[in-house]
Chain A
Amino acid sequence: MARIFWVTCPGCGDRFYCHTQDLRHTTWRLRCPYCEREFDQEESPKIEE
């Protein structure tokens, strides 16, 4: 499997996960699948990896 990290959306507080190699420690803005907010991962209140 791909390595993943769980991220908490700073807007709605729900959690989803991302591909570590593609997205962790990059400048890509993540997109919450629940509220559609786009955010920098530094804005997330909690990242689990």
Chain B
Amino acid sequence: MECLSRRKGAGGDTVALATLTGAPETGSVSAGQALSLRAFLERLERESAVDVVHVTEAVNPDRFEVTAVLQRLEDLDRFPLVVFDRPTALDGQSSGIPLVTNVFASRARCARALGLGPEHEGLELSLEYARREARRLAPAVIPREQAPVKAIVQRGDEVDLKQFPVVRHHRMDGGPYIDMTPVMRDPDSGAYNVAFQRNQVKGPRKLGIHMSPRHNWQIARKYEQAGLPTPVAVVVGHHPAFYIGALNVSPFDADDYEVIGAIANQPLRLTPSETWGDDFLVPADAEIVIEGEIPPGVREVEGPFGEFPGTYGPQRVRWVIDVKAVTRRRDAIYQDTFVGHREVSILGAFPKEGSLYNRIKAVVPGVRGVHLPNSGVGRFHAYISLDKRFEGEPQQAALIALGNVDFLKHVIVVDADDIDVYREDQVLWALATRVQAGRDVQVLCGVKGSALDPSQDEEGAGDKLIVDATRPLRHPFEARIEVPRDAVAAVDLARLIPPDQLARLGLGPLS
């Protein structure tokens, strides 16, 4: 470790304790109702219509007409869930299958997906995720004939992936990609693993699949070393809690179906697959399930693909999936994520923030907030706030964060009493006014990171940065300017500003 800083001194005044407010609602996601994407959409449209827009004109997802709409909205700083009612299939015909995307592009929507109120989109969401992640809830297995995903079953030559509205996302992408979650099952423990991975459509019954060296990669490697094909089921469309649950950071032998049930707060319903029967169960309430096998020793060129950092992963030599069967609901909904944009940043953030908070709190009890902001693609930056009692606590908190999430690169630690980690302008203000680089910045070189970080010199290893942007304790420090809070709270804008002018500010009409 290269230590470049001169530490701030100890002693002096301490800051007031911040208070966490608002206990999260922990009721079931949809009591009495099976976990499904359509149930979530119906409820969202009923309770928060502003969160959903429909594109009723026909669009061709393979010609960027889906991602172009999402990009236009993003350029306007708008992130609704978008339903494309009439997308074209890859065969050029009307698919008859609605396409849903941008589901996760708001933390408030993710909170709703876990049965929390949207007002709990901050630390409460992260802590509730961490609480549920530590539990397990056994799935419920139902017969095929009761499973909605078995309404239409296609096997062998009946399968044609070009009947689906698969999205080509970015200009250099190697083709249209299914970017939801392949499920694999460890041949030793029997545990299922669910992970977001890119799947390039290469033919009516063939996908290319990219795997980083994590759990699914380990499973496929075991099968391949035994000379066997790896069973895989790609789940395209499910309740968002299913996908949020899939982002858990659990040991290799943890069963993701059990963890997903715990995170969704209700048992995941499973049913036997068409290809492997009871030996490989698939989500019964999914919209579409693609079953296939990864043949051992077979590789093909795959990519490029626009990845989560907002850059393209290069064309590579990767595995393929020979598709054996597709099952779906009769009125199936196709789901996609806008990789490299806000929803994937959010998915990278809150599922890790809660466990980080808990680990830091065990050693630095004054921690008050942990946030992985969108500016760091939900993975590379962390903002930590704390009530500092001793010098060195910011560095300790940062080291715990870096030690627990290998993707993290840059950690900025701020004072909790006047900096909100969800307000990036405030964090950067603290950086501007409380940091001297020679004293408050530390760099650790050559540490494991994300192989998709385009700035690394060597694949997989990079540098870590710790910035202590807290006030020093050893001597008095200048205070942040402040309009008295009671004066601000007493302002009634609706009384003071005419309604038409408030509306021009996007604030009216106010009740």
Contact = CB atoms under 8 A, between A and B. Distances in A.
A29 to B, nearest CB: 7
Interface stretch (B168-176, B353-361, B429-437, B489-497): B168-176
A1 B451 contact: yes
A31 B455 CA distance: 25
B501 interface: no
Interface residues of B, number: 19
A18 B317 CA distance: 9
B304 A16 contact: yes
A29 B314 CA distance: 15
A32 B316 CA distance: 12
B455 A19 contact: no
Contacts of A31: 174, 301, 315
B453 interface: yes
B304 A1 contact: no
B454 interface: yes
A7 to B, nearest CB: 9
Contacts of A23: 301, 315-317
A22 B316 contact: yes
B312 interface: yes
Contacts of B452: 1
A2 B304 contact: no
Contacts of A45: none
B304 A33 contact: yes
A3 B460 CA distance: 11
Interface in B314-360: 314-317
B456 interface: yes
B158 interface: no
Interface in A13-30: 16-19, 22-23, 28-30
B459 interface: yes
Interface in B273-316: 301, 304, 312-316
Interface residues of A, number: 15
B317 A22 contact: yes
Nearest to B462: A1
Contacts of A19: 314-317
A47 interface: no
A8 B333 CA distance: 38
Nearest to B168: A33
A17 B301 contact: no
Given A1-B452, A2-B451, A23-B315, A33 B175 contact: yes
A47 to B, nearest CB: 13
B459 A3 contact: yes
Contacts of B173: 33
B484 to A, nearest CB: 50
Contacts of B459: 1-3
B75 to A, nearest CB: 24
Contact of A17 (B304, B317, B451): B304
A22 B453 CA distance: 18
Contacts of A1: 451-456, 459
B451 A16 contact: no
A4 B314 CA distance: 7
Contacts of B312: 17
A1 B174 CA distance: 19
A17 to B, nearest CB: 5
Interface string B437-463: 000000000000001111110010000
B314 A2 contact: yes
Nearest to B455: A1
Nearest to B309: A1
Interface string B452-483: 11111001000000000000000000000000
B298 to A, nearest CB: 13
A38 B495 CA distance: 68
A14 B452 CA distance: 24
A28 B304 contact: no
A4 B315 CA distance: 9
A16 B301 contact: no
A5 to B, nearest CB: 9
A18 B455 contact: no
Contacts of B313: 2
Interface in B132-182: 172-175
Given A1-B452, A1-B454, A23-B301, A18 B174 contact: no
Contacts of A18: 304, 314-316
Given A1-B456, A17-B314, A23-B301, 7 more contacts: A1-B453, A1-B459, A2-B313, A4-B314, A17-B172, A31-B301, A33-B172
27 contacts: A1-B451, A1-B452, A1-B455, A1-B456, A1-B459, A2-B451, A2-B459, A3-B459, A16-B304, A17-B304, A17-B312, A17-B315, A18-B314, A18-B315, A19-B314, A19-B315, A22-B317, A23-B301, A23-B315, A28-B301, A31-B174, A31-B301, A33-B172, A33-B174, A33-B175, A33-B304, A33-B315
Interface of B: 172-175, 301, 304, 312-317, 451-456, 459
